[in-house]
């Protein structure tokens, strides 16, 4: 009789564990869906979706309080980046860390078909070079993969690094990330290198075109916050920026929001939905 009860008890424990695992997976899937909804509602409707986003944040907090806090912080930064972030033209402000804890992160730009750099990318590099002289102890990260249609041997970051060294940057200061094809991947892959090889870096200044600063800052800061929470490590933060000023009329706020949304979806792992936003083939959620 004792043996039967023992077997029965074991079966109950197994069933309980399986049930618990199923509930955990269900909650995890639900949390992921809520996060995707938070991103897409804000990306499609901006401040018009504030009430809906707050409702979703409350729902997420009920599922997972750590994720709830994380995404509340990320959404606050998203609003800040597009509405309040000061964009510094041509140079960085004074007062940033003047040591190896700072990384100047230069975002790439699509190459010409033959593998040469476009004027806009060279403009970003000129700003980066000037900033590297302002902060001579900071690292310089060049980020961007192979985007030349007819030349697969070159990458944005490789050419950027060569240009900077040719114009006086010490090779010991240079960090190359040459696999990324989107701004979200710029953030993810650059951070992966920093975490593994440069643990002293704890702050980043974004260098890009003026229309791209808020967009780049958002994706880097979101990746930093997300990684720190998920891996229980100290946070890195975007502390400033410097912009190459360009009047690119392609990117109105609505378009920037769409690209930001695609990037945020990439950061949370939904590449299929991200591509629909990148290529403007998405369907707006009903508000």
pLDDT attached to residue 220: 98
Report the alpha-carbon distance of residue 77 to residue 58 in Å, rounded. Answer: 17
Quickly list DSSP for 175-202: EEE----SHHHHHHHHHHHHHHH-TT--
Counting residues of the chain whose pLDDT is more than 70, the rounded percentage is 89
Whether the pLDDT of residue 84 is over 50: the answer is yes
How far apart CA 227 and CA 221 sit, in angstroms, is 10
pLDDT at 247: 75
Distance CA 209, CA 122 (A): 11
Q: What is the DSSP letter of 206?
A: E
Query: Is residue 21's pLDDT more than 80?
Result: no
Rounded CA-CA distance 244/125 in Å is: 9
pLDDT one-digit tens code per residue, 141-156: 999 999 999 999 999 9
Q: What is the pTM of this model?
A: 0.88
Contacts of 269 (CB under 8 A, 6+ apart): 32
Q: Are 129 and 162 in contact (CB under 8 A)?
A: no
Please tell me the predicted confidence (pLDDT) of residue 121: 98
* SS3 category, 212: helix
pLDDT tens readout for residues 27-60: 555 999 999 999 999 999 999 999 999 999 999 9
Please give the pLDDT value at position 278.
95
């Amino acid at each position: 009789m004792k043996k039967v009860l023992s077997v029965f008890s074991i079966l109950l424990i197994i069933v309980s564990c399986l049930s618990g695992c199923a509930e955990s997976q269900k909650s995890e899937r639900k949390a992921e869906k809520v996060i995707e909804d938070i991103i897409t509602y804000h990306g499609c409707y901006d401040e018009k979706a504030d009430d809906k986003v707050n409702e979703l944040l409350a729902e997420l907090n009920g599922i997972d309080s750590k994720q709830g806090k994380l995404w509340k912080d990320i959404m606050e930064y998203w609003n800040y980046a597009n509405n309040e972030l000061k964009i510094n033209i041509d140079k960085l402000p004074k007062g940033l860390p003047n040591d190896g804890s700072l990384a100047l992160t230069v975002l790439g730009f699509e190459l010409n078909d033959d593998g040469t750099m476009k004027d806009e990318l060279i403009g970003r590099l000129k700003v980066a070079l000037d900033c590297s002289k302002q902060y001579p102890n900071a690292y310089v990260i060049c980020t961007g993969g192979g985007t030349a249609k007819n030349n697969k041997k070159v990458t944005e970051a490789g050419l950027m690094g060569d240009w900077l060294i040719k114009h006086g940057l010490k090779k010991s200061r240079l960090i190359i990330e040459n696999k990324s094809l989107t701004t979200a991947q710029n953030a993810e892959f650059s951070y992966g290198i920093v975490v593994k090889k440069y643990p002293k870096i704890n702050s980043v200044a974004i260098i890009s075109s003026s229309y791209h600063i808020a967009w780049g800052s958002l994706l880097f800061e979101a990746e930093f916050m997300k990684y720190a929470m998920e891996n229980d490590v100290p946070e890195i933060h975007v502390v400033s920026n410097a912009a190459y000023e360009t009047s690119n009329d392609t990117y109105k706020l609505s378009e920037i929001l769409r690209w930001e949304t695609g990037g945020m979806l990439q950061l949370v792992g939904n590449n299929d939905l991200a591509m629909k936003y990148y290529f403007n083939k998405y369907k707006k959620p009903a508000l």
